Amino acid sequence: MSDLDDFKATYFDECSELLTELEEQFAAIEEGERGADRLNAVFRAIHSIKGGAGAFGFSALVGFAHAYETLLDYVRDGRIELTDDVVHLCIRANDIVADHVNAAQTGEGLSADYGAEEKARFDALARGETAGEGENGEDMGGEIVEDFDIDFTPVMVNLDAPMAAGEAPVEDVFEAAPMTVAEGQWEIRFTPHRALYARANDPLLLFRELAALGTMSVRAIMGDVPPLSDFEPFAVYCSWEITLIAPGLSESDIREVFEFVDGDCDIVIAQAGMVPGFADLVPDIAEPAAMAAEVDAEPDLSSLLALTEEEVAAPQEPVTPPAAFAPEPKAAPAGSQDKFEEAPAISFAALADEIKPPAPAAKPEAAPVAAAKAPSSNGDSEEGGGRSVGVQSIRVDLDKVDRVVNMVGELVITQSMLTQQMDETLRARYTELVRGLEVLAQTTRGLQDSVMAIRAQPVKSVFSRMPRLVRELASKTSKKIKLETIGENTEIDKTVIEQLSDPLTHMIRNSADHGIESPEKRLAAGKPETGTIRLSAEQAGGNILIIVEDDGAGINRERVLGLARDKGIVAPDITPTDEQIDQLIFAPGFSTAEAVSDISGRGVGMDVVLSNIKKIGGSVHVRSWTGKGCRMTLRLPLTLAVLDVMLVKVGGGPYVVPLSSIVETMQCSRASFERVPSGGRVLQVRGEYVQVIDLAQRFELTSQQNPDDQFVVLCEAEGNQKVALVVDDIIGQQQVVIKSLEENFESVDGIAGGTILGDGNVALIVDVQGLRTTHLHQNAA
Amino acid sequence: MTLRVLTVDDSRTILAMLHHTLSNAGFEVLQAEDGKQGLDMLRAETVDVVITDINMPVMDGIEFIKNVRATGQHNSLPILILTTETSQDKRDQGKAAGGTGWIVKPFDPEKLISVIHRVVH
């Protein structure tokens, strides 16, 4: 059922927002901010999750959320003190709620007793404070659904709804039924209080509903009805006696009609003949029919006046029903009944000197609808109908945005092709055309930025999943770890964000598992007992940097190198630099976990991080300080779609180097490269030795350039490490649209992706960081 | 005459479901996301019945009902409280503030429509 699926999708979207909100609120609560605002926000979030879950019959989620919500409610009321223990219990509860939501979404069941332990603690806390008021299953007039009906489908809206709106069921309600006074004859005495009117209830509506249950006759018992000039619309001038004949009708059916006015009226309901002093009414159809005819006018007044003349009013005595007929008190907290008696906080003074039609529900004329505010009634479930404040927003399928992104990508390519086609002679001849192309280039750029901004999202959505991970890792490893997040509002393209979750999870696991030491070791090393993992995001030029830092022990280089040599990743005769050793943790098949723990082991290591990040055109760099900690930096493109590049030629074919990593370009002779003992070559640039990577050689091509006339593109890899790429020729700068190599072919070492040039040729994008790393392995091999 | 319903709830899911249920039943639906928005809307629009949640940011349902009644303009406007609250306490608060009746979440479409008819002329 697509409607249901739509609602569910909306619900799960909302859940993930609410879970993120919970993480944020509790981060502040943990810091000691325990104001009412925070608690209310937390309560509302759980409340909303529960509300939707009930609608879809996710009963396990409802059950847990309900217990948790009760606890939060007590905390809000101050009945339970928000101690650190309670805060931690709540944080654990949030995780369980998240698991329940996830289980509901994926359809994977959780064990039946999942969260039972926490639930028991909620109950214990509640009991400790409020004896026996934990679960509230009191009778609520038969409308409460405590055990949520699993089969409940929220969209079983039959289009021939119970009745078309605005069409009161009056006509057929009063149809005469064959009169057989038998069992099922009820007598009701009903006296409204003033409060009943104040809450916009109306006896007429109650009678209408009663009439729908059977054959009804009503008699008004007049008190002192004042002359019209003194008539107060909300005053109580009369009570009613009703006889209702309906075989099989139970008392609770009748009580349900009066459910909303319970406490706002005196009511006696009894089998015929049981109410003392009840007028012996033979149901008379004419009377109700008369009422019916008047329904749309001012029935109360007209029937009231008609009756006044015809009937001798019975002296109005206060009705004190015998105990047997006293309204059953609900299982409500003592004193709640008194609340109804309080005069509502409404001033009738304004009405006192105005003569108004006495019908309490006189309808004001419907004002013409302001077009801007009229909600569309096309059943669009996302319609936020008449939002009056805040930023206007619409929800668009990502597919639609992706289509636009792709079109814009193609436009960029076409535009760069046109620019390429303009050689000098054409430029000189068609100045107007050149200017037009320049404007087109600008507009295209602007269009592209705008489209990318649409897909950009704060990294918060990924970051918010990490606190829980850290909590779980800390408890599994018996370490004390706190997570700090910085810059979570930094925006990245949604497609990049989706790819971030796994690598981040691995990196944080790595920090918790290998970086942060046990509390004992930390204390021994003179560090605070609690380790810190800092997760930050910032924008740096055309890139986003995501940094995972810890203040742990740093990388154990000796062990890493030993393992790398054992696994043949590094040749025995090579002594890599510290920095190169650190990078080894990303080498394929490298995992330093001595025993495969279920935390970061599982047979996969950090090489997964590297390949995931490379897949989205990013790079990873690690830096470690022994005994002080470790920093891993992810450098990600702001968007996956477009890249500013330098177009170069290698072995006769076009290659592109991302402009963001280029420091400078120069011409030089191969003779100026110097050999180092490891077999690599270096180039001296302004007193600094830079590793040389000959792209032609690296990609097994034949250079078509005179060796004395080579070009070098000096690039900066992670960690300010420079690398000199040797190319045959430099063609120029341009923008390209990145096409994934993995999706269209397969992953290739040293290549970050491909692109289609303006002339239709395919050029491969050089992966500078990857080349440095693989270069090291190659020398080792 | 089409009946107009104002629904006030901070949950997008519930708003979407109310919108669907009510518009399918032939009502015209206005929606607000918190009590304050609901009040603003009532200043500009005339409606026949209001359905409001209790727990909302900015202005909760109880305050919203009090404010609606306090204007003196809407003494006979039925206000239904949409709530999962099974505690009598919240319901009493809603009533004390001037609420006409209540609907328990999760609502059954049939029940929702019949409750609306119960309080609207």
Q: Residue A591 above 70 pLDDT?
A: no
Contacts of A156 in chain B (CB under 8 A): 109
Q: What is the pLDDT of residues A63-111, one digit of tens each?
A: 899 889 888 988 888 888 888 888 889 998 999 999 999 898 888 878 8
More confident: A362 or A407: A407
Q: Residue A113 above 70 pLDDT?
A: yes
pLDDT at position A536, please? 94
Three-class SS string for A692-726? EEEHHHHCCCCCCCCHHHEEEEEEECHHHCEEEEE
pLDDT at position A327, please? 41
Candidates A661, A676, A651, A645; CA nearest to A757 is: A645
Average pLDDT in the A216-238 region? 81
Contacts of B78 in chain A (CB under 8 A): 200-201, 361
Q: What is d(CA A364, CA A543) in angstroms, rounded to the nearest whole number?
A: 60
Q: Does A52 touch chain B (CB under 8 A)?
A: yes
Sheet holding A215-222, edge to edge: A215-222, A238-245, A185-192, A265-271
Q: Does B29 touch chain A (CB under 8 A)?
A: yes
Q: What percent of chain A stands above pLDDT 70? A: 72
Average pLDDT in the A469-496 region? 88
pLDDT band at A596 (very low <50, low <70, confident <90, very high): very low
Q: Does A383 touch chain B (CB under 8 A)?
A: yes
Q: What percent of chain A stands above pLDDT 90? A: 10
* Cβ <8 Å between A383 and B106: no
CA distance B47 to chain A (A): 7
Which range of A340-344, A619-623, A767-771 scores highest in mean pLDDT? It is A619-623
Q: What is the pLDDT of residues B32-68, one digit of tens each?
A: 989 988 888 888 888 999 999 888 888 888 889 988 8
Q: Residue A724 above 60 pLDDT?
A: yes
pLDDT at position A45, please? 92
| Cα A346 → chain centroid | 39
Cβ atoms of A710 and A725 closer than 8 Å: no
- Considering only CB atoms, B10 lies closest to which of A44, A54, A168, namely A44
Q: Does B86 touch chain A (CB under 8 A)?
A: yes
Q: Residue A140 above 80 pLDDT?
A: no
Q: Residue A157 above 50 pLDDT?
A: no
* Cβ <8 Å between A364 and B117: no
HSE value, Cβ hemisphere, 13 Å, CA-based, for A326: 7
Considering only alpha carbons, which residue of chain B is nearest residue A195?
B98
Q: Does A134 touch chain B (CB under 8 A)?
A: no
Q: Residue A729 above 80 pLDDT?
A: yes
- What are the φ and ψ backbone dihedral angles of A115, each rounded to 5 degrees? 85, 5
Q: Is A147 helix (H, G, I), strand (E, B) or coil?
A: coil
Q: What is the pLDDT of residues A696-710, one digit of tens each?
A: 888 888 877 777 778
- Considering only CB atoms, A48 lies closest to which of B10, B48, B110, namely B10
Considering only alpha carbons, which residue of chain B is nearest residue A359?
B76
Left, alpha or beta for A390 (phi > 0: left; psi -120 to 50: alpha)?
A: left
Q: What is d(CA B33, CA A681) in angstroms, rounded to the nearest whole number?
A: 66
Q: Does A6 touch chain B (CB under 8 A)?
A: yes
Q: Does B15 touch chain A (CB under 8 A)?
A: yes
Could you tell me how many helices (H) and strands (E) chain A has, helices first? 25, 22
Q: Residue A301 above 60 pLDDT?
A: no
Three-class SS string for A612-680? HHHHCCCEEEEEEECCCEEEEEEEEECCCCEEEEEEEEECCEEEEEEHHHEEEEEEECHHHCEECCCCC
The DSSP secondary-structure symbol of A347 reads: -
Q: Does B81 touch chain A (CB under 8 A)?
A: no
pLDDT at position A385, please? 40
Q: Residue A767 above 70 pLDDT?
A: yes
Radius of gyration of chain B (CA): 13
Cβ atoms of A641 and A452 closer than 8 Å: yes
Average pLDDT in the A730-740 region? 80
Q: Residue A358 above 70 pLDDT?
A: no
Average pLDDT in the A443-461 region? 85
Average pLDDT in the A217-221 region? 84
Q: What is d(CA A703, CA A138) in angstroms, rounded to the nearest whole number?
A: 86
Q: Does A63 touch chain B (CB under 8 A)?
A: no
Sheet holding A710-716, edge to edge: A662-668, A710-716, A722-727, A688-694, A681-685, A674-675
The residue type found at A468 is R
**A217 sits in which H/E element:** strand A215-222
Q: What is the pLDDT of residues A314-333, one digit of tens each?
A: 444 444 444 444 444 444 44
* Cβ <8 Å between B45 and A342: no
Q: Does B99 touch chain A (CB under 8 A)?
A: yes
Q: Is A740 helix (H, G, I), strand (E, B) or coil?
A: coil
* Cβ <8 Å between A136 and B118: no
Contacts of A385 in chain B (CB under 8 A): 19, 29-31
As given in the structure block, the two tokens for residue A751 are 């290549």
CA distance A139 to chain B (A): 9
Q: What is d(CA A30, CA A38) in angstroms, rounded to the nearest whole number?
A: 11
pLDDT at position A276, please? 57
Question: Alpha carbon of A268 to those of A188, A213, A242, A483: distances in Å?
Answer: 6, 17, 10, 63
Considering only alpha carbons, which residue of chain B is nearest residue A367?
B46
Candidates A313, A291, A284, A266; CA nearest to A205 is: A291
Q: What is the pLDDT of residues A624-643, one digit of tens each?
A: 999 899 999 988 876 656 67
Report chain B's mean pLDDT, rounded to a whole number: 85
Q: Residue A655 above 90 pLDDT?
A: yes
Q: What is d(CA A251, CA A244) in angstroms, rounded to the nearest whole number?
A: 11
Q: Which of residues 146-165 of A touch B (CB under 8 A)?
A: 146, 148, 152, 154-159, 161-165
* Cβ <8 Å between A155 and B26: no
Q: Which of residues 207-246 of A touch B (CB under 8 A)?
A: 209, 234
- What are the φ and ψ backbone dihedral angles of A713, each rounded to 5 degrees? -105, 115
* Cβ <8 Å between B72 and A346: yes
Cβ atoms of A128 and A121 closer than 8 Å: no
| Residue A200 burial class via C-beta count within 10 angstroms: exposed 0-12, middle 13-18, buried 19 and up | buried
Contacts of B89 in chain A (CB under 8 A): 332-333, 336
Three-class SS string for chain B? CCCEEEEECCCHHHHHHHHHHHHHCCCEEEEECCHHHHHHHHHHCCCCEEEEECCCCCCCHHHHHHHHHHCCCCCCCCEEEEECCCCHHHHHHHHHHCCCEEEECCCCHHHHHHHHHHHCC
> Most A CBs within 10 Å: which of B95, B102, B111, B113, as the mutation test of the A interface?
B95
Which range of A103-107, A279-283, A566-570 scores highest in mean pLDDT? It is A103-107
A450-453 contacts at long range (C-beta below 8 A, 24 or more positions apart):
A451/A401, A451/A404, A451/A405, A451/A408, A452/A405, A452/A493, A452/A638, A452/A639, A452/A641
**A461 sits in which H/E element:** helix A460-463
pLDDT band at A775 (very low <50, low <70, confident <90, very high): low
pLDDT at position A349, please? 39
Contacts of B105 in chain A (CB under 8 A): 51, 54-55
Q: Does A25 touch chain B (CB under 8 A)?
A: no
Q: Does A406 touch chain B (CB under 8 A)?
A: no
Longest dimension (CA), chain B: 37
The DSSP secondary-structure symbol of A459 reads: T
Only one residue has tokens 């006979």, namely B76
Candidates A285, A310, A142, A309; CA nearest to A214 is: A285
Q: Residue A443 above 70 pLDDT?
A: yes
Contacts of A109 (CB under 8 A, 6+ apart): A60, A103
- What are the φ and ψ backbone dihedral angles of A73, each rounded to 5 degrees? -65, -45
pLDDT band at A170 (very low <50, low <70, confident <90, very high): very low
Report chain A's mean pLDDT, rounded to a whole number: 73
CA distance A419 to chain B (A): 48
pLDDT at position B14, please? 86
Q: What is the pLDDT of residues B79-115, one digit of tens each?
A: 998 876 566 677 788 888 888 888 877 777 888 888 8
Q: What is d(CA A142, CA A255) in angstroms, rounded to the nearest whole number?
A: 10
pLDDT at position A764, please? 92
pLDDT band at A341 (very low <50, low <70, confident <90, very high): very low
Which range of A45-59, A212-226, A373-387, A564-578 scores highest in mean pLDDT? It is A45-59
- Considering only CB atoms, A55 lies closest to which of B17, B113, B114, namely B17
* Cβ <8 Å between B26 and A205: no
Q: Does B43 touch chain A (CB under 8 A)?
A: no
pLDDT at position A183, please? 62
The answer to whether the peptide bond before residue A327 is cis (omega within 30 degrees of 0) is: no
Q: Does B69 touch chain A (CB under 8 A)?
A: yes
